[in-house]
Amino acid sequence: MKFLTNDGRFGLLVTRVTGSGVSRFQLIVAGRLIGNSELCFAYGAFEEMASLPRFSDERLRPPFEKQEAALSALVSEEKLHDPATLSLAESLDHWLVQGFMFEESAVMVARPYEDGTPAESALISIVGRREYADVVEMARHYWAQGDRRFLSESWQAKII
């Protein structure tokens, strides 16, 4: 099941495997599906995504006037790198995924690893705080319940 923002640039692909504790968990960042489709344990991913750190460092103000400086700081500065780096699920082991809140925006940055280091180019999604929280909560609830009956009609339209 895909859970997406209205513009389709951020979301989650979650497939439950009933009774097994494993699921398929992938992210959609900048409109691109990332991560592999192997089954994994995603239970911690939803908690992590629901509690992104809040940053006020002006270099990270969306939409990143100086994108290179912002991305470099997220990799090289421990005070930014460590709290922003999300472990999420095994399906994203070949990606550096970082997320944070800046004022009323949620920012998700994803870079594939190339020879053990994150690529310089990044996929970036900037989402309103409320829409981000709604997407993550709906995906978490679906994963936990496995039942479409909890969804209101407005959410039925957002799920593909």
How many residues belong to the chain?
A: 160
What is the pTM (predicted TM-score) of this model? 0.85
Phi, psi of 67 (to 5 degrees): -55, -40
User: How far is C-alpha 87 from the chain's CA centre?
Assistant: 10
pLDDT tens digits along 100-111: 999 999 999 999
Residue 80's DSSP bridge partners are none
pLDDT of residue 158: 52
Q: Cβ neighbours of residue 20 under 8 Å, at least 6 residues apart?
A: 39
Lowest mean pLDDT among 15-29, 37-51, 73-87: 15-29
pLDDT of residue 144: 81
H or E stretch covering 118: strand 117-118
Strands (E), 18-137: 23-29, 32-34, 85-86, 95-102, 105-114, 117-118, 123-128
pLDDT band at 20 (very low <50, low <70, confident <90, very high): low
Inform me whether the pLDDT recorded for 99 exceeds 50.
Answer: yes
